Structure 1
């Protein structure tokens, strides 16, 4: 038997350290070659660390949320055969961490032969409750699915490594034990401590920076989009096969470009340390996008040079890349103004937080049919609110209102969007 130390690999592009965002194993687990042990995040990407060998996990060198230097030991395995550790190179526990103590469970696990487990069919997991305080092991996506289905993960047995609960385990649980997921009223006393790490921590830091440094002014205006929706429906019905379907966003983007032509100070970055506003000619529109890991803002570069369908195609491409985790770093940075929309969940009005260090953000609220007075009668019209926030240090309330009113006029008379000048 030997010991094998796995070090944080060089992820390239000059990155010196990475944040540990998820452990997939714990001490005492038996793993196979290529089993994902952990995930780390840099400011460029999330990287998974696979096991180079079959073995037993005997040491973990960091906790979720820790920043780990490249080349530092992160996992130690006990393997069959010769390892890669000499006595002088043997890693020590990280500061504040002790070597794992021997327990009957760990001794039992260590006595098992290390190798590739035989393939097993998925059987219905026994609904054996975990002891109170023992945290089920599952990915964020599985936890979200369980919450939506009303499932207590403590009642679900996991078929993955170290008892990790998978989507297949949820499927089996729902098929075999639906009555458990819909149990009667039960008192719940468990408190789950969730460390803010990875993308969620970056979002928290960005929001804190925006709210602490930027005095927001929010302006809400109602927009009648009946004519625009009729136009959008006609364009989608008669569109060419090589063009994407149009949503509201491309029309809003084109309206913003035209409004920015008249008020270029809204398309800017405020360097509050230097006391300088960098007013941009290029309109790089950030599109706030909800992913399963949190909020990301991919950027449609040079919206001023894109027509309606080009805007739509680029929004679709970037949103898909953000949700799949394949967006490049340059596609997530460099916005000069941002759009945020919650779609059908958009509410009547919101108070969007500016994407620091920009000076403006346009928020789209949900569309509703409401009776509006046309001078003679009340008629049903499709309306929505735009909720927009501005940096009050450099944007006066009057200028903010003029900007939103210009966008409103363009959306309510969408033919103007296509008129040059």
Structure 2
């Protein structure tokens, strides 16, 4: 045997450890050189590890979800095994094999009779069963076939129906119209979901949040958006987000404390001149935040194209590490599912996050007339250590002015 120990290399991001998010091999498998063996996640990206040698896997560093330190063993490979099957190590002696259903014992039953129900009599079709109209109506409502109910006497009574329901509650019986029963399951919190959990917990633990919400009349904005889309040519279709980003970028110079990152350990707030806009994006793996660099320098069409590109890359797992870090302000939107009001959680170490809610058409007063208007609530959550409520409210008012008079978005 020639033992080769593949140690987790320095992935080059200044990290001390990485998390196992997937194994592509198991003990006993034959691997070829350059064959994928594991996916390792850092704080910023998932990296695929490939075998540097050909041989048979002898031992793995741990299970999915475990952390592996840089420079420590990831996989041990026998390079002389030439594809021979190698049995995995036996399980620990204290592991108790689960019994099959037929071997499972019921504790606390005084005798065999105590845990066995009498077999159901086959009385024929339900209309031959002796039962009162009230019992028949109740059985029908519950979806119970009366021919399956064993009566204590000649008639099926409510007590007999109760006994049947009690016994069959754990035997897969469910009345008509009831939802299918689902088994409990345990899902290990690993990979991106664990990163999200850790980041959100740290954000709520360290940051005193407050949320301000205001209503914005986007009737004219929607009219303008429809006109732009009707004449867009081969450019991407506009959603509200690119227009909102333009309004945010135009308003931020008057409120520099919002486009900032707070290093609370050093006690330093960095107010950024450029707007690196994080776009919260839902993927199959969880929420990711790709970043539009220098959003203030882009027009609505460029912003729309970049939002689409980054979202597609994130959902396909192809976003680069530098595209998933360095945001100075985050925008989070659920689109048509946006609800009435949201209270988004700040993407630490940023100090603010903005959340547009869905657009709803409602009647409003315009002078003495009642007209239909398209309204949208805009939420902003801020770090109260750095941002005051007065500043947050005035910033939203500045954004509101631009969105309600959208021609200003394109004025110098």
Counterparts of residues 335-374 of structure 1 (less than 5 Å):
335-374=327-366
Measure the CA separation in 1 of the matches of 2:79 and 2:326. 47
| Change in CA separation of 1:101 and 1:218 when aligned onto 2, cut-off 3 Å | closer
Question: In the TM superposition, what whole-angstrom CA distance separates every residue of 1:208-247 from its partner, at most 9, and x where no partner exists?
Answer: 1211111111011111111111111111111242x32211
2:42 aligned with 1:18: no
| Change in CA separation of 1:375 and 1:197 when aligned onto 2, cut-off 3 Å | same
Counterparts of residues 9-408 of structure 1 (less than 5 Å):
9-10=8-9, 12-13=11-12, 16-27=16-27, 33=32, 36-49=36-49, 59-76=59-76, 81-82=81-82, 99-100=90-91, 185-188=179-182, 190-241=183-234, 243-408=235-400
Alignment-derived partner of residue 177 in structure 1: none
Q: 8 Å contact 1:59–1:99 — kept in the other structure?
A: no
Question: In the TM superposition, what whole-angstrom CA distance separates every residue of 1:322-363 from its partner, at most 9, and x where no partner exists?
Answer: 112222222111111111101111111110111111111110
Measure the CA separation in 1 of the matches of 2:292 and 2:241. 12
Measure the CA separation in 1 of the matches of 2:227 and 2:291. 28
| Change in CA separation of 1:380 and 1:20 when aligned onto 2, cut-off 3 Å | same
Q: Which runs of 5+ in 2 are unaligned?
A: 94-99, 103-176
Measure the CA separation in 2 of the matches of 1:79 and 1:280. 53
Question: In the TM superposition, what whole-angstrom CA distance separates every residue of 1:104-154 from its partner, at most 9, and x where no partner exists?
Answer: xxxxxxxxxxxxxxxxxxxxxxxxxx989xxxxxxxxxxxxxxxxxxxxxx
Give TM-score, length-normalised by structure 1: 0.69
Measure the CA separation in 2 of the matches of 1:296 and 1:283. 18
The residue matched to 1:265 in structure 2 has which SS?
coil
Give the C-alpha shift of residue 45 in structure 1.
2.5
Measure the CA separation in 1 of the matches of 2:244 and 2:39. 38
Q: Which runs of 5+ in 1 are unaligned?
A: 85-92, 103-129, 133-182
Question: In the TM superposition, what whole-angstrom CA distance separates every residue of 1:73-92 from its partner, at most 9, and x where no partner exists?
Answer: 434567884589xxxxxxxx
Give the C-alpha shift of residue 379 in structure 1.
2.0
Measure the CA separation in 1 of the matches of 2:11 and 2:79. 28
The residue matched to 2:358 in structure 1 has which SS?
coil
Give the C-alpha shift of residue 309 in structure 1.
1.5
Give the C-alpha shift of residue 187 in structure 1.
3.6
Measure the CA separation in 2 of the matches of 1:99 and 1:217. 54
Question: In the TM superposition, what whole-angstrom CA distance separates every residue of 1:361-380 from its partner, at most 9, and x where no partner exists?
Answer: 11011112212222233222
Give TM-score, length-normalised by structure 2: 0.71
Question: In the TM superposition, what whole-angstrom CA distance separates every residue of 1:190-223 from its partner, at most 9, and x where no partner exists?
Answer: 4322222221111111111211111111011111
Measure the CA separation in 1 of the matches of 2:283 and 2:366. 41
Q: Report the structure number with the largest CA radius of gyration.
A: 2
Q: 8 Å contact 1:3–1:82 — kept in the other structure?
A: no
Alignment-derived partner of residue 170 in structure 1: none
Measure the CA separation in 2 of the matches of 1:21 and 1:36. 13
Q: 8 Å contact 1:8–1:69 — kept in the other structure?
A: no
| Change in CA separation of 1:59 and 1:186 when aligned onto 2, cut-off 3 Å | farther
